[in-house]
Amino acid sequence: MAFFIASSPHSHSRKSTSDIMMTVILCTLPGIAALCYFFGWGVLLQVVMAALTAVAAEAAVVALRGRPVKRYLKDHSALLTGVLLGIAIPPFAPWWIVIIGILFAIVIAKHLYGGLGQNLFNPAMVAYVVLLISFPVQMTTWLPPSELLVQPLGFTDSFAAIFTGLTTDGFSVNQLRIAVDGSTMATPLDTIKTSLLAGETVSEAVEKSVFGSFAGIGWGWVNVAFLAGGLILLKKKIIQWQIPVAMLASLFVFSLVGYAISPDGVASPLMHLFSGATMLGAFFIATDPVSASTTTRGRLIFGAMIGALVYLIRTFGGFPDGVAFAVLIANMCVPLIDYYTKPTTYGYRKESK
């Protein structure tokens, strides 16, 4: 009987790495469907393009490393990275944004550290932050929900806008961002931050057309869809409950305290929980088995740290959503968290510090 030694990720669900990765991908489908419904075909095009590019980049790098390409591709880790980055990219960002992001995620953030199980940071989030800092205009150009678009977009228009910058009728992406009320649209979180900087209150900000519900048109349902997928992951024991629960609880507590102190100066707890990338981050990003904390207490600390950082970045930082930054900062702290939360070895007494 052979004894195999393998690197992380390790799982107690008795599923192979490829099965786990594919289950996570399938559980993102409700969220992707909701994004497509509210924001058009561009979402699906970005996800597919990112996934295909990720697989191609993985194959090329593995071949250059002299490793068996087929075996490495079968774990579906590159495919998952592509899907997660594709979800995070605005639906009508230029095609080259996806290519640059995926190459950075696969080549730099993953294989430069040794490949799957060796990376210190979540590859998709590393790529997202690099893109956000390098190309802030393209990475913050979200279109309004389809119901607010002056010019409805079909599949052909979406394809043309991504690859040429113009729809088949000659509309640019910036022109499409102008909503029916003549105002330039942005995400709900970005709208609140911009309004506060302009001297308005949160109450005034939520009266704008992008807010048709408590978390903005479409965004509430998108987060509910990712929550549903995350609950499936929990039920199948693909992920542990500590990180998402700690993250959401921490974000709720911090936002509740802030809202109680200054209701006109900060977003409500429901807005924080059901807008932006909250649920995607809690169940699909922060729970990465390679870069997250591995101990039970450590996961609680790790998740709570991410929730607190998300609130602080959204409220006081320069970016409207802070999930990616919060996850990467928490990734840096994982060795320290695991060191001080590791359980006592069986048969040994815990030494006093």
Amino acid at 240: Q
CA dihedral 214, 220, 221, 223 (to 10 degrees): -160
Q: Span 36-44, mean pLDDT? A: 91
Q: Which of the four pLDDT bands, split at 50, 70 and 90, describes residue 179? A: low
Task: Give the pLDDT of residue 196.
Answer: 81
DSSP element (H, E) containing 251: helix 242-261
Task: Give the pLDDT of residue 1.
Answer: 46
Task: Give the pLDDT of residue 5.
Answer: 41
Amino acid at 194: T
Q: Which two tokens stand for residue 131?
A: 């893109």
- pLDDT exceeds cutoff 50 at 317: yes
Q: 14: alpha, beta or left, given left = phi > 0 and alpha = psi -120 to 50?
A: left
Q: Which residue has the higher pLDDT, 347 or 265?
A: 265
Q: Mean pLDDT, the chain, as a whole number?
A: 85
Q: Which residue has the higher pLDDT, 106 or 113?
A: 106
pLDDT digits (tens, 9 = 90+) for 60-71: 999 988 888 888
pTM, two decimals, is: 0.87
* Number of helical H runs and strand E runs in the chain: 18, 0
Q: Span 149-172, mean pLDDT? A: 78
Range from 7-11, 111-115, 225-229, 342-346 carrying the lowest mean pLDDT: 7-11
Q: 27: alpha, beta or left, given left = phi > 0 and alpha = psi -120 to 50?
A: alpha
- pLDDT exceeds cutoff 70 at 291: yes
Q: What is the DSSP string of 263-325?
A: TTTS--HHHHHSSTTHHHIIIIITT-TTTS--SHHHHHHHHHHHHHHHHHHHHHSSSS--HHH
Q: What are phi and psi of 249, to 5 degrees?
A: -65, -45
Q: Which of the four pLDDT bands, split at 50, 70 and 90, describes residue 4? A: very low
Please answer whether residues 50 and 101 qualify as being in contact, where contact means their C-beta atoms are separated by less than 8 angstroms: yes
Q: Report the SS3 class of residue 156.
A: helix
Q: Dihedral sign for Cα 189, 190, 196, 201, please.
A: negative
Among 341, 195, 326, residue whose Cα is nearest residue 251: 326
Q: What are phi and psi of 263, to 5 degrees?
A: -65, -25
Alpha carbons 243 and 294: distance in angstroms, whole number: 10
CA dihedral 52, 55, 56, 62 (to 10 degrees): 180
Alpha carbons 230 and 284: distance in angstroms, whole number: 7
Among 252, 280, 279, 282, residue whose Cα is nearest residue 268: 252
Q: Which of the four pLDDT bands, split at 50, 70 and 90, describes residue 183? A: very low
